Amino acid sequence: MAKPSTSAAPRLSKKDYEARAAVLREKLVQLQVRLKEAPFKILLIVAGVEGAGTGDLLNTLGSWLDPRGVETFSFRDPSDEERERPFLWRFWRSLPTNGRIGIYAGSWYTETLRAALHEPPAQQDLSPEFERIRHFEKLHADDGTLIIKVWLNLSKTAQGRRLRALSSDESTAWRVSPDHWQYHRHYARLSRLAISIHRATHRPHAPWTILDAEDDRARDLDTASLLIARFQAHLRKHGRPLKTKAPSAATRRSLRPAGLKRLQSLPLDQQLSAADYEAKREKWLGKLNQAVRTASAAKRSIVFAFEGWDAAGKGGAIRRLTSAIDVRDYRVIPVAKPTDEEKAHHYLWRFWRNIPRAGLTAIFDRSWYGRVLVERLEGFARDDEWKRAYAEINDFEQQLTARGIIVVKFWLHIGRDEQLRRFRAREETTYKRHKINDEDWRNRRKWDAYEVAVGDMLALTDTTTAPWHLIPANNKRHARLQILKTACKQIETALA
């Protein structure tokens, strides 16, 4: 774009620019070809001083990159669907799949920056925001994502010169808005804020690169060079999926034996007669109905996670639960093997997507705990991955509860013999036969190892705000009633 030159320093000549651009463009094309097959994505975050030319840079990158592999994001005020979920939800929903580039003209940094324009930073404690951002970036970097953060810098003098030059020419004056001048006036304060953001969120896996944007041509070339250099380094380290084929011996060793003890000491022989069950069930369904409606009226959402042994009765328990809830107020989300799209994302992505709107209920039939159960034991997650997952999951649930969402987690526990009885019964009933397959029998043979994993899960993710409820489920009626009671109490406590 041949806009009036606003630079005092000598601008890169057009000829030099074009020669260097030609080289970089070819490399960018090669980058995209290789990225397409790579097991990771690139997030390129562009932020910076007002007037440094984010929009122009995006346009240049748009012409250099193959648009089919790129998505560009920017964010206006959040919609109500976004405001009703945790802060990071709108960013989770925007993430590209592996093999693609997401360019963020606005990002998880934008709101902090914008808010600071109107409020002196001294009055704000930004540490929770920074903490949240660090977690988010770490989570994705750990997953292999290449995070590139560019800060376009412009000195106060250069900014003023650019704004004046644009304003003085009638045909370009529209490029300068009152906001620009306000940013100019508060240059020093915003600079200090930028420095504190950089310090707080500059990490080896997600470093900031500060680029001088005074020369628009150099700015575009430098950004492209950075993208290429970071990609090449990343490819050497993360070019191949690291998945081990066979699960390591570590998957079978308990990290925290207390959980296993808790599991094994659960008495399983409770009984509940059909008559007793009939007598109590409707009462508790009614209480649950009331509790869910009260939560809904208060715009509080509920997230149920149902985990348990194969054939422990998760499906049946869920149907009893939902019979008390208005069909418009809940959704059941069955969690099976991830789809191709889900595999090209972080393992938590498909759960983030399904966080309910304010006042609604989501019931997960199996959940994010698959990461530390089946994925741990079948080698779908490496040791470092499933070991890291406990903290990631606690952080995920903490974001839900902090947003007012009520999280209720059940482990349905049955004995080994009871499972065998149910497996055989399933095999004998024509229309239930599809519910049982070789995998179920394989998992059953690994009972001891699963028990260890369940124990670790109970010990490491039993938090105050999202505790585990162990349900003895050898007797289905007893289990169902206890689930109803527990759900009621949890919701009522959360609302109290």
Binding part of the chain for a copy of itself, among 141-149, 173-181, 183-191, 371-379 by CB under 8 A, reads 173-181
Looking at beta carbons only, is 212 or 329 nearer to a copy of itself? 329
Residue 283 lies near a copy of itself (rule: CB under 8 A): yes
**DSSP-assigned beta bridge partners for residue 45:** 104, 149
Among 155, 225, 290, 401, the residue binding a copy of itself under the rule CB under 8 A is 290
Among 16, 18, 131, 169, the residue binding a copy of itself under the rule CB under 8 A is 169
CA 212 to chain centre: 32
- Total of chain residues touching a copy of itself, rule CB under 8 A: 64
Residue 286 lies near a copy of itself (rule: CB under 8 A): yes
DSSP alpha helix (H) spans, 269-409: 274-297, 314-322, 340-343, 349-352, 374-377, 383-402
Binding mask 309-348 for a copy of itself (x = CB under 8 A): ------xx--x--xx-xxxxx-xx-x-x---xx-------
Smallest gap from Cβ 222 to a copy of itself, in A, equals: 18
Residue 15 lies near a copy of itself (rule: CB under 8 A): no
Position 60: which residue type?
T
Smallest gap from Cβ 386 to a copy of itself, in A, equals: 24
Residue 275 lies near a copy of itself (rule: CB under 8 A): no
Looking at beta carbons only, is 105 or 449 nearer to a copy of itself? 105
Smallest gap from Cβ 11 to a copy of itself, in A, equals: 17
Produce one character per residue of 106-122: b if its CB has 16 or more CB atoms within 10 Å, e if not: bbbbbebbeebeeeebe
Residue 55 lies near a copy of itself (rule: CB under 8 A): yes
Residue 16 lies near a copy of itself (rule: CB under 8 A): no
Judged by phi (left if over 0) then psi (alpha if -120 to 50, else beta), residue 328 lies in alpha
The DSSP symbol for 118 reads: H
Q: Tokens 């989570």, residue? A: 139
Among 5, 13, 59, 264, the residue binding a copy of itself under the rule CB under 8 A is 59
Q: Token pair of 78, please? A: 């959040």
Q: What is the 3-state secondary structure (H, E, C) of 146-176?
A: EEEEEEEECCHHHHHHHHHHHHHCCCCHHHC
CB 385 within 8 A of CB 245: no
CB 250 within 8 A of CB 49: no
Q: Token pair of 154, please? A: 């412009």
Chain positions 247 to 266 lying near a copy of itself, rule: CB under 8 A, are none
d(CA 8, CA 203): 33
Among 282, 384, 417, 439, the residue binding a copy of itself under the rule CB under 8 A is 282
Among 5, 13, 62, 439, the residue binding a copy of itself under the rule CB under 8 A is 62
Chain positions 82 to 111 lying near a copy of itself, rule: CB under 8 A, are 105-106
Binding part of the chain for a copy of itself, among 169-177, 184-192, 444-452, 467-475 by CB under 8 A, reads 169-177
Orientation angle between helical segments 447-460 and 383-402, nearest 10 degrees: 40
d(CA 398, CA 215): 44
d(CA 368, CA 335): 9
Angle value at C-alpha 321, between 400 and 412, nearest 5 degrees = 75
Binding part of the chain for a copy of itself, among 54-62, 144-152, 407-415, 484-492 by CB under 8 A, reads 54-62
Q: Tokens 């499906």, residue? A: 315
Chain positions 182 to 241 lying near a copy of itself, rule: CB under 8 A, are none
Position 74: which residue type?
S
Residue 425 lies near a copy of itself (rule: CB under 8 A): no
Given the DSSP bridges, would you call strands 208-212 and 101-104 parallel, antiparallel or unpaired? unpaired
Binding part of the chain for a copy of itself, among 165-173, 396-404, 452-460, 467-475 by CB under 8 A, reads 165-173
Residue 171 lies near a copy of itself (rule: CB under 8 A): yes
- Give the interface with a copy of itself as residue ranges (CB under 8 A): 1-3, 22, 25-26, 28-29, 54-56, 58-59, 62-64, 66-68, 72, 74-76, 79-81, 105-106, 169, 171-175, 278, 282-283, 285-286, 289-290, 315-316, 319, 322-323, 325-329, 331-332, 334, 336, 340-341, 357, 360, 365, 429-431, 434
